[in-house]
Amino acid sequence: MRFKIILLAILFISLASCKKTEGPKVLYLGHTLPQTHPVHKGMLEFQKALEKKSNGTLKVKIFPDGQLGSERELLELLQIGSVAATKVSAATLSNFVPEYNILGIPYLFRNKAHQFNVLEGPIGKSILEKGSKFWLRGLCYYDAGSRSFYTSKKAIRTPEDLKGLKIRVQNNQMAINMVNSMGGDATPLSYGELYTAIQQGVVDGAENNPPSFVSSNHYEISKYYTIDEHSSVPDVLLIGTKYWEKLSKEEKAWVQEAANESAQAQKAFWRASVEESMKVVKDWGVEIIIPEKSLFAEKSKSVVEEFVKKYPEMSKIVNEIKNN
């Protein structure tokens, strides 16, 4: 991984050196999603808005599909200034900026309106700014939906149904603790390996939002989809501070305004994608289960208690979000 980062750094330093004084400034934006994804479509809106606001003096070149590496690798490239911007999950970002762990707390948000009132208000903006000391300035949040359980052989209707089931989770302590608190066996595993792992019974299921459930084709090998919506971890559009600090005050304003506009457009893309994805899932014959969420929320309370005990300085933010 480190060798790959060095090669990419050389590539982008070379590209940047060719554009020191002539022509528009180019912002290189890498991410891991396919071009059909609603979050990628949000980034296209960012690209269009920034070029329009700057009259073509600031352009965005997007590298999708993991062309420049994994989310972690992209964050490291931002930190050293080889890539200007990226989009990553707040779960991945929490390994760099601890405050993003808050956004992964199970059942933190009451509904979508509550979530974005928090994210687009003072609390969310303050978390975006926390990354600057780690050379990762947050610009805006993108809707990444709510994660729910899907399984191949046994339906999950109550938390008790998770007992004995190996559930793939992201390599994130909050996600691991959450599944274990409900009685499941949390199993961190590469997303690229997951289809085969479910197919071969290495894991019994996983958890994700509807568009990802469909785009990964996991619905083909999963009989049950339990819409418990245990976490609503957003995606985050970031710019490296090394690039940000080279911009003029006016250019910074354009970048932030373009990001804000793209975030609003992306929400509509996400809603449409969820509707389309759920139709695909139903048409395929996957059983959709709407459980009593309060049962799952009750089981996961220990995760919240453990988190605020470990990060007492963040307990105030958690309480502010709950009371928002």
Same domain, 227 and 290: yes
pLDDT the model gives residue 198: 98
Same domain, 100 and 189: no
Same domain, 61 and 204: no
pLDDT the model gives residue 4: 54
AA letter at 246: K
The answer to whether the CB of 148 falls within 8 A of the CB of 211 is: no
| Residue matched to tokens 């999603």 | 33
**Total Cβ atoms within 10 A of residue 266:** 26
Q: Where are the alpha helices (DSSP H) in the chain?
A: 2-17, 38-53, 71-80, 90-93, 112-119, 122-130, 173-181, 194-199, 210-215, 241-244, 249-284, 293-299, 301-310, 315-323
Same domain, 191 and 89: no
Tally of domains within the chain: 2
Same domain, 225 and 243: no
Same domain, 179 and 310: yes
Mean pLDDT by 10 residues, the chain (324 residues): 50 45 87 92 98 98 95 96 96 92 94 96 97 98 97 97 95 90 94 94 97 94 98 97 97 98 98 97 98 96 91 92 92
pLDDT the model gives residue 23: 81
Domain CATH code at residue 179: 3.40.190.170
E strand or H helix that includes residue 11: helix 2-17
pLDDT the model gives residue 12: 53
Same domain, 154 and 187: yes
Same domain, 95 and 192: no
Same domain, 251 and 169: no
Same domain, 215 and 297: yes
pLDDT the model gives residue 7: 52
Same domain, 125 and 182: no
pLDDT the model gives residue 11: 53
Same domain, 127 and 252: yes
Smallest CA-to-CA distance from 314 within 84, 97, 67 is with 97
This prediction's pTM: 0.88
Q: What is the DSSP letter of 101?
A: G
For residue 300, the enclosing domain spans: 147-232+281-323
